[in-house]
Amino acid sequence: MKNFYILILVLLTSVSAFAQNGRISGQILSSDGQPAEQVSVGIKGTARGAISDNQGKFTIERVKPGTYTLLVSFVGVATQEKEVSVAAGETVNVSFTLSENANELQEVIVKSGTSYKSDQFSSSMKLLTPILETPQNVQVVTSKVLADQQIISMSDGLIRNVSGAVRLEHWGDMYANISMRGSQIQAFRNGFNVVNSYWGPLTEDMSFVDHIEFVKGPAGFMLANGDPSGLYNVVTKKPTGQDKGEVAFSVGSFGLYRATLDLDGKLSKDSKFLYRLNVAAQNKGSFRPFEYNNRYSIAPVVSYQIDEKTKLTAEYTLQYAKMSNVGSFYVFSPDGYATLPRDFTTMPQGLAPTKINDHSVFVNLQHQINSDWKLTAQVGYFNYQLAGSSMWPDSIKPSGLMYRGVGLWDAKSEMTLGQVFVNGDVKTGAVRHRILGGIDLGSKNYFADWSQSYALDSAGAEFDPKNPYYGTPVMGFPVFDRAMNLESRAAAGGGLQNQDYTGLYLQDELGFLDNRIRLTLAGRYTYVKQSAYGGPNDEAKHFTPRVGLSVSLTKNTSLYALYDQAFIPQSGRLKNGGSVKPITGNNTEFGVKRDWAEGRWNTTLAFYRILKNNELTGDPESQASGLSIVLGQKRAQGVEFDLRGTIINGLNLTANYAYTIAEVTKLAEGITDMKVGDLVPGYAKHTTNAWLSYKVQHGSLKNAGISAGFTYLAGRATTNWSTTNTALNQPDYFKLDGGVFWEKNNIRLTANVFNILDKYLYSGGYYDWLKAYYWQADPPRNYRLSVTYKF
C-alpha cells in the first residue's frame, strides 16, 4: 500500500503542470435533432480526438490554449470543420448538426458495415465512461452481428461472439445458462438482474433485443448481486424518433417458420411522444422426433419527452412458449458418450407440452439536472409462469434398459426491482470526476411444485434405447393433481425460494493528467435476506470495495488493472446440516485495449484470476436429493483475447480466444469426494471462435456477400462432479457455419448453413447415482433462409 500512496501523491503533484490546459466538449446531432453516435471528432493537424457516445456527446481533454480547427467525420458522410478557441483552464462547448437524419445515418452504418463494434455502454449499465477507458473487459454483441448470424434467441449461437463463453445444461431453448471464467454468469435485462432460480430466465427472443453487453469479471458492484465471473445484459429496442419499419420472414430445417415485425415512429407531431412495437411468431421443430418449440412475443415501448431535460419510457414484453417436455434434450447410456443415434429421444409421442407465460414491465425516468449531473430512476416487474413437466430416468440398468419417469414442474417467478442513481461529470481543479452513486432494491419470489412424479415403464417392460417404443407407455401418461394453487403446493413440497436485497454504492473515477490516467475508487454495501427449499431465512450483509486504474498511452490505446471483491449470498440445504454462508472472494484483472484504423475495429487482451470461497455444489453422491455440499475454495484464471469491427470496407470480423483453468484450491473439512487440483465442471480449457462477413463493394457481384464462422473447444471438462468415474472429459468440439447474403435498397436476403461438416456434437457428463453418461446433442447440418424488407 505504501507504493500505492506514493503513486497517488506523484499523480496529484503532477497535475499542476497541466492545470493550464483546456477542454473541448460538445454534442453532435442528426438533421432531425437526434443524437449521432460513434461520430469521430478530431483536432486538425493532430492525433487528438474523441468518439461521440450514445447521446451524441464528446469530450477532448488536455487541449493547450490556442485556436484550432475541429473535424467531424463519419464513414460515408461529408466531413465538417469548425474553428474553436481554447482558453487556459476552461471548457469550450461546441455543437455540430449533420446533414443526414438519423434514419439515413443508420443506413450508412448498415451499408458500410461498421456496426460490429460499439464504443459505449447502454445507459442501463450506469457508466458514462467509454468502453476503451473502462478498467474491465467488456464485449458488446451488436444488432448487426445478431442479424448477420441469424440469431433468433439467446441459445442460438450467440456466445460464439464472446471469448470464453460456453453453454451447458441449457434445457434447449428454454434457458441460456451461459458459463464463463469458470462459473455460470448472471442474466440481466436493461440493467436488472433477472435471475430468480438456477434455471431461469426464459431465453429472450431476438425480435425485441437491440444488443447484448457481456461484462467480464466483477459484475456485482453496481448491478445488484452477481457472480464475479461476469454477466450479460440484454438491452431491448427503444423508439428512435424515426418513422420506419421492418418485416422479416424466415424458414429453415426441422420445420422452422418465423415472422417478425418492427415498427418505429412518432405518436405526436412535435416528436415528444414516440413508440416502438416488435412482434414475433414462430413454429420450430427439432431433429429429434416429437420435439418442438413454438413461441410468440409482443413488445410495445412508448417514450415521452416531458421537457428538454426529462424523459419517461415505459415498455412491456410478453413471451409465450409452448414446447415439448424439456427432458427430451437429455440422452443417457452406461456405454459412453454418443453411443446412441444423434436423433435419439426417450420422449414418447403424446406427452403433454410445457407452457410458459413470461411478462415484464419497465418504467424508466431520466432527468438531466444540469450539464454535469443526470438522475435516473427505473422500476421493473417480472412475472413468469410455467405449467409442465420434466423427464428424467428413475434408474438405468447396465444393459441400458431404463425406467423413465416424468416429474411435475409447475413454477411461478415474481420479481419487483428498483434502481435510483445519479451520474456526474465535474472537475475540481485539474482533476476530472466521473461520479456514480445509487441504490438498488429488489424482492424476488420463486414457487415450484416438483413434488409429484410418475413412472412410464414397469419391471419386465423397461424402455429399451436400442429398440425404442414411442407409443403410449405401459403405465400410461401422467395425470398430476393440481387441485391446490401453486403457492400452496410449492410450500408443501419445499419448492420455495425468496430474496430481498438492498444495495448502496458510490464510485468516483478520478481523471488525472487531463484524464489520461483514471483511478476508480468505489464501494458497495449490500444487505440480503433469502431462503430456499423450505430452509430458514438467512441474512447477510457486506461491504465490498473496488479499485481500478486505466491509463491512456495514446488516444487509441489504454492499459487497465482492476481489483474487486465478491459477495454472493446463497441458499440451499447442506448435506451435513448447518447454515449456508455467502460466497466471498476477490477478482484481479489487468489488460490492454486498443482501437485500430480510426476506431473501425478494436482488440482487448485480458488476464484475470478469481478466487471464490464457500461456494455450494450439488451432492455428487445424490444429484436428485437437492442437497448441497460446501466446496471450499475454487480458483479460475486465464487469458482472453477479443477482436471485433470492420477491418476494411465491407469486411467485418469477430474473433476471440480464451485460455481458462478452473480448479479446486481448498477443500472444506470432511469433503472426501474430490481433491485439491480437481477441475471445476463445465468449461473448456481452450475456446476459439470467429465469424467473418464480406460484402462485395464493386463489380457485377456488388451488394452480394459471404459469411463464415467456427467454434472450437479443446480440453473440455465435464459438466458435473463424479466420484466413481474419471474418464469424463469430452472430445474436442469443432463446428463450422457459413452462408451468403444479398442486400440492395430496402431488401436483404440471408442464407446460412449451420454445422456444415455435419459432426455429431454434444456436451455432457456422468451421473454417479444413475451409473450412466448423459449428453445433449447439437443439431446436424441445417439451413436457414431469411428475407427482410425495410420501409
Give a yes or no: residue 723 inside a domain.
yes
Burial class of 498 by CB neighbour count within 10 A (0 to 12, 13 to 18, 19+):
middle
Residues 34 and 162 grouped into a single domain: no
Name the domain count of the chain.
Answer: 3
All three cell numbers of 167, joined, read: 453453454
Share of the chain above pLDDT 90, in %: 57
Residues 158 and 254 grouped into a single domain: no
Residues 616 and 497 grouped into a single domain: yes
What mean pLDDT comes out for the span 696-706? 92
8 Å CB contact between 62 and 518: no
8 Å CB contact between 212 and 112: no
8 Å CB contact between 473 and 500: no
Residues 301 and 396 grouped into a single domain: yes
Q: What is the pLDDT of residue 15?
A: 42
The candidate with the shortest Cα–Cα distance to 561, out of 136, 51, 142, is 136
Q: What is the pLDDT of residue 736?
A: 97
488: part of which helix (H) or strand (E)?
A: helix 486-493
pLDDT at residue 109 tops 80: no
pLDDT at residue 44 tops 90: no
The candidate with the shortest Cα–Cα distance to 385, out of 361, 352, 409, 351, is 409
In CATH, what number is assigned to the domain containing residue 630?
A: 2.40.170.20
Residue 51 pLDDT class (50, 70, 90 cuts): confident
pLDDT at residue 290 tops 90: yes
Q: What is the DSSP letter of 329?
A: G
Nearest-angstrom CA–CA distance, 301 and 176:
25
Residue 12 pLDDT class (50, 70, 90 cuts): very low
Residue 227 pLDDT class (50, 70, 90 cuts): confident
Residues 567 and 652 grouped into a single domain: yes
What mean pLDDT comes out for the span 21-40? 81
298-325 pLDDT tens trace: 999 999 999 989 999 999 999 999 999 9
Q: What is the pLDDT of residue 516?
A: 93
Burial class of 198 by CB neighbour count within 10 A (0 to 12, 13 to 18, 19+):
exposed
Q: What is the DSSP letter of 202?
A: B
Q: Which of 201, 236, 271 is the last residue of a domain?
A: 236
Nearest 10 degrees: Cα torsion 223, 224, 225, 228 = 20
Residues 322 and 231 grouped into a single domain: no
The candidate with the shortest Cα–Cα distance to 179, out of 722, 710, 684, is 684
Which positions ≥6 away from 503 have C-beta within 8 Å?
224, 225, 439, 440, 441, 524, 525, 526, 527
Give a yes or no: residue 6 inside a domain.
no
In CATH, what number is assigned to the domain containing residue 125?
A: 2.170.130.10
Mean pLDDT lowest among 16-20, 346-350, 392-396:
16-20
Query: Which amino acid is residue 681, in one-letter code?
Result: P
What mean pLDDT comes out for the span 454-468? 95
Higher pLDDT, 570 or 525: 525
Q: Which of 52, 75, 103 is the last residue of a domain?
A: 103
Residue 666 pLDDT class (50, 70, 90 cuts): confident
Which contacts of 750-754 are long-range, i.e. CB under 8 A and separated by 24 or more positions? 750/147, 750/148, 750/150, 750/785, 750/786, 750/788, 751/783, 751/784, 751/785, 751/786, 752/149, 752/150, 752/707, 752/783, 752/784, 753/781, 753/782, 753/783, 754/157, 754/779, 754/781, 754/782, 754/783, 754/784
Give a yes or no: residue 673 inside a domain.
yes
Residues 705 and 777 grouped into a single domain: yes
Which positions ≥6 away from 275 have C-beta within 8 Å?
239, 263, 264, 265, 266, 267, 300, 301, 302, 303
Nearest-angstrom CA–CA distance, 91 and 63:
10
The candidate with the shortest Cα–Cα distance to 523, out of 543, 503, 502, is 543
704-761 pLDDT tens trace: 999 999 999 998 876 665 655 555 678 899 999 999 999 988 999 999 999 999 999 9
Give a yes or no: residue 12 inside a domain.
no
In CATH, what number is assigned to the domain containing residue 27?
A: 2.60.40.1120
Q: What is the pLDDT of residue 443?
A: 95
Q: Which of 103, 121, 144 is the last residue of a domain?
A: 103
Q: What is the pLDDT of residue 13?
A: 44
What mean pLDDT comes out for the span 451-480? 94
Give a yes or no: residue 644 inside a domain.
yes
Give a yes or no: residue 4 inside a domain.
no
Nearest-angstrom CA–CA distance, 239 and 230:
29
Residue 6 pLDDT class (50, 70, 90 cuts): very low
pLDDT at residue 111 tops 60: no
All three cell numbers of 390, joined, read: 420434466
The candidate with the shortest Cα–Cα distance to 273, out of 221, 222, 311, is 311
Residue 364: CB atoms within 10 A of its CB come to 21
Higher pLDDT, 72 or 480: 480
Give a yes or no: residue 11 inside a domain.
no
Q: What is the pLDDT of residue 52?
A: 81
Higher pLDDT, 400 or 569: 400
Which positions ≥6 away from 29 have C-beta within 8 Å?
35, 36, 56, 95, 96, 97, 98
Residues 30 and 136 grouped into a single domain: no
Per-residue b or e along 119-130, where b marks 16 or more CB atoms closer than 10 Å to that residue's CB:
bbbbbbbbbbbb
Nearest 10 degrees: Cα torsion 190, 195, 199, 203 = -10
129-167 pLDDT tens trace: 899 999 999 999 999 999 999 999 988 889 999 999 998
Q: What is the pLDDT of residue 46?
A: 77
Share of the chain above pLDDT 70, in %: 89
pLDDT at residue 21 tops 90: no
Q: Tell how far CA 530 is from the center of its chain.
A: 25
Nearest-angstrom CA–CA distance, 153 and 158:
8
Q: What is the pLDDT of residue 710?
A: 97
605-658 pLDDT tens trace: 999 999 988 877 666 555 555 677 777 888 999 999 999 999 988 899 999 999
Domain span at residue 27? 21-103
Q: What is the pLDDT of residue 45?
A: 76
Residues 88 and 185 grouped into a single domain: no
Which positions ≥6 away from 438 have C-beta within 8 Å?
126, 222, 419, 420, 421, 422, 504, 505
Residue 536: strand, helix, or coil: coil
- Over the chain, what is the mean pLDDT? 87
What mean pLDDT comes out for the span 388-416? 94
What mean pLDDT comes out for the span 223-249? 86
What Rg value do the Cα atoms of the chain yield, rounded?
27
Residues 168 and 251 grouped into a single domain: no
8 Å CB contact between 144 and 211: no
All three cell numbers of 529, joined, read: 435476506
Question: CA neighbours within 13 Å on the CB side: how many for 697?
Answer: 8
Question: CA neighbours within 13 Å on the CB side: how many for 185?
Answer: 27
Residues 132 and 96 grouped into a single domain: no
pLDDT at residue 201 tops 70: yes
8 Å CB contact between 666 and 675: no
532-551 pLDDT tens trace: 776 777 788 888 899 999 99
168-196 pLDDT tens trace: 766 778 888 888 998 888 899 999 999 88
Q: In sequence order, what DSSP letters do the residues of 156-171 get, joined into one string?
A: SSGGGGSTT-EE-S-T
Which positions ≥6 away from 520 have C-beta within 8 Å?
135, 507, 508, 509, 510, 546, 547, 548, 549, 550, 562
Residues 97 and 114 grouped into a single domain: no
The strand pairing partners of 187, in sequence order, are 232
Highest mean pLDDT among 31-40, 71-80, 461-470: 461-470
pLDDT at residue 351 tops 60: yes
Q: What is the pLDDT of residue 621?
A: 59
Give a yes or no: residue 560 inside a domain.
yes
Strands (E), 399-430: 402-428
